Amino acid sequence: MMNGFKEVEPSFEDCLLMLSKKLVDSSSTVNIDSLLDAFTALVGDCDFHSSQRNKNIETFLKRYGSSVDEINKMRMRASHFTLIKVIGRGAFGEVQLVRHKRTNKIKRADSAFFWEERDIMAYADPMWIVKLHYAFQDLKYLYMVMEYMPGGDLVNLMANYDVPEKWAKFYTAEVVLGLDAIHSMGYIHRDVKPDNMLISASGHVKLADFGTCVKMDSDGLVRCSTAVGTPDYISPEVLRSQGSEGVYGRECDWWSVGVFIYEMLVGETPFYATSLVATYSKIMNHQSTLTFPDDVSISDAAKDIICKFLSNRNVRLGRQGVAEIKSHTFFVNDEWDWNTIQNTRPPVVPDLTGDDDTRNFDNIEKEGLPQESFQLPRAFAGNQLPFIGFTYSREFSPMACLAVSQQTLADAKSDLQRLSMQNEQYASELGLVQETKKLADACLQQVNADSSSIELDCLKLEKELAAVRLELKETSRKLEQELENRKQLEVMLINVRSEYDNLQNAERKTKSEHAIDMDRQISELNERIRLQCDSEEKLRTLFNELQESYNNQDLALRELRIKYDVLTSHCDEAQENLKSVQAQLDAERAQSTQQSQLLLSTKERNDALQIKLDYLREKYTKLTDENQTLTEKKHNLEKEYSITELELKNLRDKYEQEVQNYQNSLNSSQIGNEQCKSESTFVSELEKKLRDEETLRHSLQQQLNDVERQRKVLSLDCDHFSDQIQQLGMEGENLKSKIQELTGQLEVEADKRIRLQGELGTAMGTITTLKNREANLEREISILKQECSQLEFFSNELRKCKSISQSQLRDVEDQLETHQCLYSLYKNQTKELKELVSTRDEELNSVKSNLTRQVEAVQLQLEMDHKARRLAEDSLSDREKEKAMLEIELKRLSNRHKQEITSKDAIIDQFKEKERAYLQTIEELRKAHDNLNVNLENVNQELSRKTSMSTSTDEQIQQLKKMYEKEQQLKKSAIDKLTEVMQKKSTQNKKGYRADELKRKDKEFKKLQQDVQQEKRKYDEMVAMYQKEMSDLQATLYEEGQAKERLLIELECKEEELELLQQKLHVLLSETCSVDSASLAEVVDFNNGNFTMYDMSLMRMCDLPKKKKYHVFFKLFMLAKGRAVLPDVMSHKGHDFIAISFHSPTSCDICSKQLWNVLKPPPALECKRCHVKIHKDHLEKHDRDVAPCRVNYDPMLARDLLLMVSSADECKVWVNRIRKCMENFRKGGDFLKTARSSGSSVHNILVDGDKVIWRKISIRCVSSGELDENH
């Protein structure tokens, strides 16, 4: 190694100098910070219990553990900064505004990024790239301290200003220079958009967010299989790389620059669509979808550069280098060029209050990130090794301090020696690690060899499985043949038994000794046959047991078939014996009876199987019904989901249409403030509907997932039961076929029996011949004995066959094992099917994520619209100073209204005093009758004056409304003036005014904008204050109206009491009754002769002449003691609230929260008059936000009616009729609840439906009296 150094470097000092340069160079991979990172990482990875068992590691930690702790204390860390504000938060960290405690410099801190981002910000040109000051780490987090850009991003600038083409040139040029700086370092940004373009304190633009950057290959291209970037700004070649390896270069960033220029000039991206799929389709078909709106003026040079940027990558502008872009005519201007643009004043310079001003960033609440717990490794894992070389410091570097003097050089040498020793130790440890790696590789090779042998064994097993399948098919074919042979033998056995029955009948009649001996021999044969039947029954029982255990059903079936073959062989042998002994028919009849019993047992077993089959079928039908209901529920949920998606899409379309109409109306400056408010309320309602639809969609999706999950479970159960039912069905069908065959044979035997009974007569004739043949039968008996011995020999052979069948049974068991192997294969196939289902679920999840992205895009669009609305409201604040005059006038009117309220209070006090006076006058009626009438007249005058005062307040409110409308018109005119000024400013710019005048006007315009914003805020505060005062005044006015109603009711009650006292006084004085002083001066003339109580035709109202006597008058006085009220009505501030529940989307008119629920809606109230909907809690808590009812209602229904008829007799008739009607109402139980009569005054309570109406009716007949002009 030393010889190599001598060949490369002639002197040792030069080698040390080069090594020191590498240690000092921050871009070197072996600089001092990287070495310190490696040292601390090595100590951190070794510092756990399991690795300390190694003595070398233990001594290493003892020696350098404390040193590493001291190094960590002396290096840069998070405690050196003071947190000011959190200005951003993402999935992998958050962005904070911090201040260095020692230098007091403001910087931006980020907590998660990539190596490409660090290298770009650390070593790129800081003129166009956000500068990296520090990069450090601790045990849990990575930190990056960057330059703070207080101007926000270009999205905020485009939302606050209408960007002209002149501004677009400037910002595009700075973005091009920033991208050129990145490309010169060999990186591609891949996410160029206004959100990643930050504005510095001087107003210049710098690029940020390099997390998507990628290093180019030596040919200047990138090969990637994933599409990276924002959908609206992504290029077609990057989009094609999704799912397949794509090849593209730096031209993908120039595509995003073209989209950025179009967005600045038009206001939206060129390929914007409501869905992500539509956006991607427009990007892929950009030749036909790229259009320019007619209502936006764009120069030809701007259109040309946009079209050249948004073109195919082979001909795209900038493919041949950045010089091609700089030479385009779009950037030609007189104010700056590519060399002086950094020193040029930007179009917009942020107005900052200090170096920590964060007005251009959204307020984000600080929240603690979840603490990650890392599991302790069992062996050396090297978790900290990937972050070696991460630390970076632009200003405070250890080697920068060491290079100041020769002393620092000596210290560096000692540190270098120490580091070389550490490197040697690390090399020794690395050797150990390599040895362990070799051992691991050897183990891996052995595992691979074992896996290859296992694969060979699997192949052998599969071959054997195929052979077993072939043997199984052959055995099943043989089994079918044996079953057919057995059926034939059974038919022959039944025929022999029928013949045996006939001969047995004949033998019973003879009853000879020879027959008895034959019966004995036949019984022995029957006993043997019975034993064979018993063996068959045992096999049947085995079949039932095997059938109950479904898991071993196939094996049991094969065993049963093998035993069945043995029985068939026995039956064949028995059949041969029975053919030779046809005379023994009695034994055959017994055998037939046993066979019939066996048939009954098989039928019973079949019935049991049929019951079990029916039960399984019922269970299967239930499961299928449940599955169908679940599928129907799923389809319904899918329909509801699609309907909600369609409604959501319609709402979005409506919303976009409303926003477009709103923007058009703002450009034409013809919408007033009231319309703006209506638009804002409509937009808020749309947003509420969108949120409600979104929640409904999520709930439906959750229900759909639950139903799908239940459906899958039931489908698995249904498949399992269907397999069982199919197997039982097959067995049942086999048994049914056997039963049918046996029943057919029985019918044939019955036919034979009938035929044989006919032949019985002929057989009787043969009895005589049989007697003659007794001698011959004795000889035949001896022959039968010999045959019995032969049968015993045959039974021994049957036992041998049984042993052979047992060996065959073992073979079948081997076949069962092969079937189990097949079952394992089927199980693996089911696992693969489950994996396919999981992939489909993942596809569904991807569709859900796409939907969420679409919703987020809609929310972003909503935020853009809100920003546009804020701009519109700011533009409407030019006439705020004139509004101040209106507010002064409102104060004056409010003071006047307060004075009127005090005057009303004084009037109320006067009413109270007069009430006391009325009580005194009642006691002194005889002495002061005339004075009482004067007082009543004064009261009427005061009431009229009070009503006139209330009408005057209404007139004042109308005047205020008119003044407000005038102010709205003034505001519109101011907006028109402002637009004219802006147009004049643009024409002057076109004429080419001097740059100084333009700068001066820009400053004036900015100052005016600031003044306007301040005045707008003041005006908003004053309007809110006066609106609150107006609501309070309305509430007090409503309370005054209520008090007025109560006073009027009390006054009328007092008047009525006075009338009663006057009547008593007239009776005492023996005077005629006259009309009271509160009578009206109008009389209803009933001259129609056909006038009835329920069919009144009022002909005319006539004025009373003065000083005339009338004997044809009677008066009706109806007083409403209360208004119509439901039992559950709650009155509050003029509202008549009723309890109600909402099951459809509804919101509260006070707190704007949800007022509905499908299952359990919250308690709510609704006014019957103005239909205001609120939570019940607002009324129970006496919330002041409940405004008075907007619908005016006069609850005073008191009426006086003086009626005139043609004669005094008719007057009496009418009075009697009305009294009779009142008596009928008093007697009726349905309409009249309570009644009280006193003199000629009747108090009634009439019930009309669910309304309770209080009425007080006074009838007074004017038979003789004098109506003077006072009345």
**pLDDT for the residue numbered 950:** 55
Q: What is the mean pLDDT of residues 584-596?
A: 64
Q: What digits encode the pLDDT tens for the residues 331-342? A: 998 889 999 998
Going by pLDDT thresholds of 50, 70 and 90, the confidence category of residue 362 is: confident
Assigned domain for 509 exists:
yes
**pLDDT for the residue numbered 787:** 64
DSSP-derived secondary structure letter, 442: H
Q: Rounded to an integer, what distance in angstroms lies between the CA atom of residue 782 and that of residue 779?
A: 5
**pLDDT for the residue numbered 1270:** 33
**pLDDT for the residue numbered 172:** 95
Look at residue 819 and tell me whether its pLDDT is greater than 90. Answer: no
Assigned domain for 37 exists:
no
Q: What is the mean pLDDT of residues 488-505?
A: 70
C-alpha 200: how far from its chain's center?
40
DSSP-derived secondary structure letter, 1235: E
For the ranges 16-20, 324-328, 1246-1250, the lowest mean pLDDT is seen at 1246-1250
Do 829 and 739 belong together in one domain?
yes
**pLDDT for the residue numbered 680:** 65
pLDDT above 70 coverage of the chain, percent: 54
Do 192 and 335 belong together in one domain?
yes
Catalytic position from the list 191, 253, 586, 1136: 191
Going by pLDDT thresholds of 50, 70 and 90, the confidence category of residue 1210 is: confident
Q: What is the mean pLDDT of residues 1097-1111?
A: 41
Assigned domain for 456 exists:
no
Going by pLDDT thresholds of 50, 70 and 90, the confidence category of residue 845 is: confident
Q: Encoding tokens for residue 364?
A: 């984000």
Q: What is the mean pLDDT of residues 53-57?
A: 77
Going by pLDDT thresholds of 50, 70 and 90, the confidence category of residue 131 is: confident
Going by pLDDT thresholds of 50, 70 and 90, the confidence category of residue 148 is: confident
CATH code, domain carrying 225:
1.10.510.10
Domain boundary among 1044, 1068, 1092: 1068
Assigned domain for 107 exists:
no
User: Are 915 and 1054 within 8 A, CB to CB?
Assistant: yes
Report which of 42, 122, 57, 110 is spatially closest to residue 387, judged by C-alpha positions: 42
Going by pLDDT thresholds of 50, 70 and 90, the confidence category of residue 983 is: very low
Domain span holding position 840: 469-655+672-868
Assigned domain for 1185 exists:
no
Domain boundary among 842, 868, 894: 868
**pLDDT for the residue numbered 907:** 77
Do 723 and 863 belong together in one domain?
yes
Assigned domain for 622 exists:
yes
**pLDDT for the residue numbered 1131:** 80
Q: Rounded to an integer, what distance in angstroms lies between the CA atom of residue 354 and that of residue 375?
A: 45
Q: What is the mean pLDDT of residues 1215-1228?
A: 69
Residues 6+ apart with CB under 8 A from 430: none
Do 1083 and 1048 belong together in one domain?
no
Q: Encoding tokens for residue 236?
A: 């077609």
**pLDDT for the residue numbered 1072:** 40
Do 1032 and 906 belong together in one domain?
yes
Look at residue 1194 and tell me whether its pLDDT is greater than 60. Answer: no
Q: Encoding tokens for residue 888?
A: 């002064």
pLDDT above 90 coverage of the chain, percent: 9
Q: What digits encode the pLDDT tens for the residues 1000-1045? A: 666 666 667 666 777 777 777 777 777 777 777 777 777 777 777 7
Look at residue 988 and tell me whether its pLDDT is greater than 60. Answer: no
Q: What is the mean pLDDT of residues 1145-1152?
A: 85
For the ranges 188-197, 495-504, 650-659, 872-881, the lowest mean pLDDT is seen at 872-881
Look at residue 72 and tell me whether its pLDDT is greater than 60. Answer: yes
**pLDDT for the residue numbered 364:** 72
User: Are 694 and 855 within 8 A, CB to CB?
Assistant: yes
- Burial (CB count within 10 angstroms: exposed 0-12, middle 13-18, buried 19+), residue 171: buried
Look at residue 589 and tell me whether its pLDDT is greater than 70. Answer: no
**Which of 923-932, 1100-1109, 1248-1257 has maximum average pLDDT?**
923-932
Look at residue 1269 and tell me whether its pLDDT is greater than 70. Answer: no
**pLDDT for the residue numbered 545:** 64
Q: What digits encode the pLDDT tens for the residues 700-729? A: 777 777 777 777 777 776 677 667 777 776
Do 830 and 882 belong together in one domain?
no
Look at residue 744 and tell me whether its pLDDT is greater than 70. Answer: yes
Q: What is the mean pLDDT of residues 332-356?
A: 87
Look at residue 17 and tell me whether its pLDDT is greater than 70. Answer: yes
Look at residue 793 and tell me whether its pLDDT is greater than 90. Answer: no
Do 907 and 975 belong together in one domain?
yes
Q: Is 191 labeled as catalytic in the residue annotation?
A: yes
Q: Residue 491, CB half-sphere, CA atoms under 13 Å: how many?
A: 12
**pLDDT for the residue numbered 3:** 44
Q: What digits encode the pLDDT tens for the residues 866-883? A: 676 666 566 565 566 566
Average pLDDT score over the chain = 70
The count of domains in the chain is 4
Do 740 and 627 belong together in one domain?
yes
Domain boundary among 868, 890, 912: 868
Report which of 932, 876, 925, 936 is spatially closest to residue 1061, judged by C-alpha positions: 925
Q: What digits encode the pLDDT tens for the residues 217-266? A: 888 899 888 888 888 999 999 988 887 778 899 999 999 999 999 999 99
Going by pLDDT thresholds of 50, 70 and 90, the confidence category of residue 311 is: very high
Do 1206 and 1264 belong together in one domain?
yes
**pLDDT for the residue numbered 167:** 93
Assigned domain for 1101 exists:
yes
User: Are 588 and 496 within 8 A, CB to CB?
Assistant: yes
Do 998 and 1064 belong together in one domain?
yes
Going by pLDDT thresholds of 50, 70 and 90, the confidence category of residue 310 is: very high
Look at residue 1265 and tell me whether its pLDDT is greater than 50. Answer: no
Assigned domain for 718 exists:
yes
Number of helical H runs and strand E runs in the chain: 25, 25
Report which of residues 436 and 1107 the model is more confident about.
Answer: 436
Report which of residues 961 and 950 the model is more confident about.
Answer: 961
Residues 6+ apart with CB under 8 A from 466: none
Do 475 and 577 belong together in one domain?
yes
Q: Rounded to an integer, what distance in angstroms lies between the CA atom of residue 722 and that of residue 840?
A: 26
Do 1081 and 1062 belong together in one domain?
no
Q: What is the mean pLDDT of residues 521-542?
A: 67
